[in-house]
Amino acid sequence: MRQYTLGDFDFALPTDLIAQHPAAQRSASRLLDGTGAQAVDRIFRDLPSLLNPGDLIVFNDTQVVKARLFGEKPTGGRLELLVERVTGAREVVAHMKVSKKPPAGTVLQMDGGFTAKLEGRWPDDDGSLFRFTFSDDPYAIMEQHGHVPLPPYIAHADTPEDVARYQTVFAKHPGAVAAPTAALHFDEAMLAALDARGVKRASVTLHVGAGTFQPVKTDNISEHRMHSEWYSIPQTTLDAIDTTHAEGGRIVAIGTTTVRTLESWARTGRSSGDTAIFITPGFDWRVVDMLVTNFHLPKSTLLMLVSAFAGYEHILKLYAHAVRERYRFFSYGDAMLLARTD
């Protein structure tokens, strides 16, 4: 089998193709149909016609929280916290952006009037994240004082548009600091059209972490250390997957986070827990048959995942087509539909 290096997953992307705002309507985004040998340009609302009655769509129903918080050190220096996960009644784990890290025990005065006490690094003394104790419930603080944690390639500060659109219409369980972006294209009319088509629906939860934007820095991709994210799959979804496959239907994952959740369960047998699964070409697929996904960053783990799913050469051709036809890329961009290549 070919040994891939980081450079194999690079491509030239004009910066003006990086979407800074969502499409006027969720389902009006473009959809690149990559299920056949040749790319076909479609509109996202065409998706129901490309699926079969009896197929099962699986969504990630995580809810993005306003995880970006600002404040200052006792010395007056400004800082930014990005909450990665809530670990207790008032405890969180967060990224900290600051010119000089304060010592453990420092109480930070945060914008909005609450405090955040720095307890130390996480998960250990060598960890890249930090443990904090907030003066109040973290979810209430984030909702009242936080900002939408837009990806680093979106240049503007968060706006009311982002509050509404950097969130799926079926978001249910708060905890994500990045949206499951393939699901942003679905609206109520689209869900109704899927129901009318006879396509079944189910959900999983994976709280997307900021690590999803973490670059791969090793040329030997097998040396990359994948970030960890928490997931949960309800028994109703597991039953629906078994029934769908038994009846000849296909499992259609909406987004790479859903893929990582389902394939993690298939390998561990655990319906909840943390996953750091890293999917690269040569992966042994066990659950997912089709995938709806947005276009991903060069050299990213997500580009490696879709290459593993639909075939490396095929993905290169699809991405070249998308650039040539000026598809919109990344979180607020357009989508593609892929079929698994075994």
pLDDT, tens digit (0-9, with 9 covering 90-100), for 193-250 = 999 999 999 999 999 998 878 889 899 999 998 988 999 999 999 999 999 999 999 9
Every domain range in the chain assigned CATH 3.40.1780.10: 6-64+162-339
Residue 70 has pLDDT above 90, yes or no: yes
Every domain range in the chain assigned CATH 2.40.10.240: 68-145
- Residue 334: both structure tokens together: 């357009």
Q: What is the pLDDT of residues 237-296, one digit of tens each?
A: 999 999 999 999 999 999 999 999 999 999 999 999 999 999 999 999 999 999 999 999
- Residue 85: both structure tokens together: 């996960």
Question: Is-contact 331 297, C-beta < 8 A?
Answer: no
Residue 1 has pLDDT above 80, yes or no: no
Q: Which CATH number fits domain 6-64+162-339: 3.40.30.10, 3.40.1780.10, 2.40.30.10, 3.20.20.210?
A: 3.40.1780.10
The vertex-179 CA angle with 184 and 12, nearest 5°, equals 85
The vertex-332 CA angle with 326 and 336, nearest 5°, equals 60
Burial 284-303 (b: 16+ CB within 10 A, else e): ebebbbbbbbbbbbebbbbb
Nearest-angstrom CA–CA distance, 274 and 321: 36
pTM: 0.95
CATH entry 3.90.105.10 includes domain 68-145: no
